[in-house]
Amino acid sequence: MKRTRTPNVRWLFAIPVLALLGSTAFGGGADAAPAAQAGVSCAWERLDRGEDREQHSLVPLPGVGVLAYGGVQRTSRGATIQDDVHTLDLVGSPGGAWSVLNAGGSSAGKRAEHIAVLRPRDGGASQVVVYGGVDALESIGGGGGGTFTWRSPLTAGGGVALSRLGTFAPLGVVRKGFRLDVDAQGGAWTAFDPEGTSVALADAAAIYWPAEDALLVHGGRTKEEVTSVTNDLHLVTLGDSPTWSKLDVAGGPTDRFAHSAIYDAAGDRMVLFGGTRDWKAGLDDVYALDLSGGVDGLAWTKLEPTGRAPSRRFDHAAAWHPTLRWMVVFGGTRDGNRALSDAFVLDVSTDTPTWAPLDASGASPAASRGPAAAYSADSDALVFFGGQDRGTTRRDSWALRCTIPATPTPTEAPITATPTPEPATETPTPEPATETPTDVPATNTPQPPTETPTPEPPPAIYLPWGEREAG
């Protein structure tokens, strides 16, 4: 069933309707789009290229576009973790323009596989909150290409396990938290250490929870080895005195890392998808954490979406489109080797969520593992950046713009319906109706009835006969 929507003044771009016909990697055909896509057109747009990067973070930056921090960069000399901050301007430059953000203070330093969220502040200021991640790599030689292996230093050169970092082993998982306050002039880092038993985490999934001014963090690894994978749920408050607490909520997802999470404000919930337990096989389940009852009323639900679901995957990118209420998933890998190039939409705007391949026009991003994604409200676009395939990091940036028809028929129906009663009142012509009763009481009305019986002509006719008889 086609779902209708009213126009939104936040849409800044008009994209022509160019629906893909046939089957492609990004969907196509009548059975490819969820119900919401029936009235929505989407298009990929190539943006300015940034630095080669994977396992980094991308967050919205109001008034600018998006902000990227950290990640792994591969060159001919090897792979290194970065500590730089870049912004992609989507307001002043329609095609996007990357630039370095100069940030002072106590920096979070080199970081990959970390958590990063936007924390809105009073007065329109922005704060990026970063927690955990990996801060260093060690080259162990061998492998490369499509074979990703690493040997944990904690196992003294023990068994070989699959890893997203190829022939480079992570040396340490970090438990530190940092805030980056951003303004037009630049940024300033400050460290924070929450009260409570905080833990080191890498590859966890997290959202910012506005009602509690807190981070909700799920899963991840507490060490380098896959045996440290967890399904714990943590709450990190971000006020003047930050706190860390572990939450016990039954019925949640299994142990996993390298999964994705979005915050559905309209549904007041966190939605999780995918991930892996061992770097060898991806997951494809979907869970929702109901936030409407506050911290004490949190409740997990396993969602069972209809439609055509994406394949099992991890190391993918996911971003939330708040107007359409879509979770858009792109890329990743099924087994730690081959990167994926497909994109899917999870439409949660109805009681029963629906999966479907993304139906979008234009050239699309290449296969990518470990990309990052964020929604920019200023340009009303989902931005996807970076990743890697076969050991080569990417620097591509893409915008996915989706638009709803500007003049949907449901809104025009009441507008055209309102003028119709006006002519309807004119057609009854009450004036002639009032004229006929006014003629009835008028003095002219008795004259016609007396003329119709014509009593006078009969005597006029019979009088001559009377006169003749008398004569």
Once rounded to an integer, what is the mean pLDDT over residues 229-237?
Answer: 97
Tally of CB atoms within 10 A around 234 = 25
For 391, which DSSP code? T
Instruction: Classify 447 as helix, strand or coil.
Output: helix
Give yes or no for residue 142 having a pLDDT over 50. Answer: no
What distance in Å separates the CA atoms of residue 196 and residue 317, rounded to the nearest whole number? 31
Give yes or no for residue 250 having a pLDDT over 90. Answer: yes
Span 79-116, pLDDT tens digits: 999 999 999 999 999 899 999 999 999 899 999 999 99
pLDDT at 171: 64
Give yes or no for residue 191 having a pLDDT over 50. Answer: yes
Element (H, E) at 60: strand 57-61
The DSSP bridge partners found for residue 294 are none
pLDDT at 407: 58
Element (H, E) at 47: none
Once rounded to an integer, what is the mean pLDDT over residues 265-272?
Answer: 98
Give yes or no for residue 342 having a pLDDT over 70. Answer: yes
- Residue 1's pLDDT band, with cuts at 50, 70 and 90, is very low
Cβ atoms 91, 402 nearer than 8 A: no
What value, to the nearest 5°, has the Cα angle with vertex 47 and ends 43 and 50?
145
Give yes or no for residue 443 having a pLDDT over 70. Answer: no
Once rounded to an integer, what is the mean pLDDT over residues 18-40?
Answer: 45
pLDDT at 463: 35
Give yes or no for residue 453 having a pLDDT over 80. Answer: no
Once rounded to an integer, what is the mean pLDDT over residues 63-92?
Answer: 94
Burial of 405 (0-12, 13-18, 19+ CB in 10 A): middle
What distance in Å separates the CA atoms of residue 447 and residue 129, rounded to the nearest whole number? 97
Once rounded to an integer, what is the mean pLDDT over residues 453-462?
Answer: 44
More confident residue, 13 or 211: 211
pLDDT at 399: 98
Structure token pair of residue 237: 């408050």
Q: What is the third-level CATH fold of 35-406?
A: Neuraminidase (2.120.10)
- Where are the domains positioned within the chain? 35-406, 412-470
| pTM of the entire predicted model | 0.75
What distance in Å separates the CA atoms of residue 138 and residue 470, rounded to the nearest whole number? 150
